[in-house]
Amino acid sequence: LQEAADRLVPLVASARAAGDEAGWAKALVRQSQVATSLGGLETSVEQLKGQPWPEGSTSRAAVELYYAHALLEYLDGYDWEIRQRERVVSVAPNDKLDLKAFTAEQIAAEAEKSFLAVWERRAGLGDVAVADFPYLRSNDYPKGVRSSLRDAVSYLFVDRLLADSSFWSPSEANDAWQLDLDNLVAETPQLPPPPAAAHPLLRGAAVLADLERWHRSRHELGAELEARLARQRLLLQHRTSARDQAALRSDLERLLPRFRSDPWWAVGIAELAGEIDRTGIEPDRRVRARELALTGEKAFPGSRGADLCRELRSEIEAPDFALQIMAVDGAGRRSLEITHRNLAEIHLRAYAVDLSAQLAQKEFRGLFPAEDREIERLISSREPVASWSVALPPTADYMSHRTFAPPPLTRSGLYLVVASAERSFAKGHNRRVALPFTLSNLVLLQENQVFPWEVRLVEGSDGRAATGVEVTLYRNSWREAPSVVGTQRTDAAGRTTFAFPGVSAEYGYSNFLLVARRGDDIAAAQRYGGEPQPGTSPHTSALLFTDRAIYRPQQKLYWKVLAYATGRGRGALTAAPET
């Protein structure tokens, strides 16, 4: 690399002396790339800025674009450190560039100068093909769409800089929603007169509108539509209210018929259908989006737009389901909630989980199998105690709907319920969901998970206190099976309390588990985390009050702090003076 850097110095000088602007630009860019590879990104950018540049449109564009790119790469790579810098007195235009002193705003502004310098020369770039410009990787758009260097410069200017809100000032970020939307989508967006600075979003819209008009003057429908779609994407990204999104959809829908004869129209249809699907609020939005996608798919078979429309249609038509289940419920209850679309039925199995076997595991992870390999082993090696299917109502609107169903289980205990889209429950090309379920007449209520750990057991059917039920406290440390700390029975109110079990070095990091058992009925609760701290220890906290929610510049701020302490009794709060 160093040898390459040494050889490039005379190459730059000889190309400049010979007036070979293409070779000069190439040598400058390669020199900067080699210097960057040697580990000096700041030095390479400063070195590039400090040398004379060629003046020809294409050659100058190469150096300006690479310089802007290098600046933004530097900002991306050292973003956190750069954004800690404080702005210093700005340097004179002829002073040497010192990136180490530049803030993020100054670096972005410097990059914008280069983008703007190239864009202002755009008239001479329209006949240069991107494929003939060796400094950019060619895109895979069809010929005639984003094909020229003028296209590339405009899209890079917007996408790489103006559209990136991380380069905006706080006031610009706050003001984006207040810009006149009609002006942003106008044929020629109006910019404020100098010296007022136009908002980056407005400038981005103006750059893309200029490209749109240029392609229209050349009767290039596909490229014109792509410029319009790029403006649509830009505005959708930053104008996110439902009203603005609806207005932008309507504007695109109004414009698309003019491009019906060009294959790129199908791309516009795919984007319109996607926006209706993602941001629309109408109940039939997915039906409408699918119809649009189907129209675009059939209009120009084999085109990029047809592919996009087919992908969207397939996504809308794709079957899908999600499963939720009550953690604890009684027999015959509608414990299952199935969220589904485009699916005729769902298949379920219930596998019994042995409580004693789970508690005997040395690496105890919980009362239910949780890892994929454990669940797969259970499914492949055990017969389910119940298998059933639930017929699902049709979803003609292609939206997700909910269906509730009771598991056909009668014996209390722990279960793993597995749902499958395929009757075979095959692992591949299938959707499976596994969830834990406890069928029990006992419900364990807890007001906190600190010691003393107080719980209350009630009957699930009517909420009566479950008296005389045995409750066991276990401790485990991930390295060995849970060990019994103590066992108690609930009192007449269904309550029992476990005191702090003490700290022992042999336990180390511990978790705690409460298990209540009455015959086959089980109720459980877990406490995760390191060694427990007694809940009776007092602690202090504070509330901060201000006299209003919003302040204008120069207004006086009135504030007060209320410090308070928690006592040893539940709910005992007292002011904490002299704190």
Tens of pLDDT, residue by residue over 424-451, are 998 888 999 999 999 999 999 987 777 7
Cβ-contact 452, 535 below 8 angstroms:
yes
The residue ranking higher by pLDDT, 260 or 533, is 260
Q: Tokens standing for 175?
A: 């003001």
Q: What is the mean pLDDT of the chain?
A: 90
The residue ranking higher by pLDDT, 473 or 567, is 473
Summarize the confidence of residues 345-351 as an average pLDDT: 96
User: Which residues have a Cβ under 8 Å from the Cβ of 505 and sit 6 or more positions away?
Assistant: none
Q: Tokens standing for 28?
A: 């400058």
| pLDDT higher than threshold 80 for residue 467 | yes
Predicted TM-score (pTM) of the model is 0.78
| pLDDT higher than threshold 90 for residue 464 | yes
Residue spans of alpha helices (H) in 263-389: 265-279, 285-299, 304-317, 355-359, 372-381
State pLDDT tens for residues 521-533: 999 998 765 444 5
Output the pLDDT for position 91. Answer: 53
Helix (H) or strand (E) holding 313: helix 304-317
| pLDDT higher than threshold 80 for residue 506 | no
Q: Where does 90-235 show beta strands of DSSP type E?
A: none
Summarize the confidence of residues 403-412 as an average pLDDT: 96
Output the pLDDT for position 505. Answer: 46
Cβ-contact 240, 279 below 8 angstroms:
no
Question: What is the number of residues in the chain?
Answer: 579
Confidence of residue 572 (pLDDT cuts 50, 70, 90): confident
Q: From CA 318, how far away is CA 390, in angstroms rounded? A: 19
SS3 538: coil
Confidence of residue 570 (pLDDT cuts 50, 70, 90): low
Q: Which of 445, 414, 436, 446 is nearest to 522 (CA)?
A: 414
Output the pLDDT for position 115. Answer: 95
SS3 83: coil
State pLDDT tens for residues 65-91: 999 999 998 888 888 888 888 876 655
Confidence of residue 145 (pLDDT cuts 50, 70, 90): very high
Summarize the confidence of residues 308-331 as an average pLDDT: 96
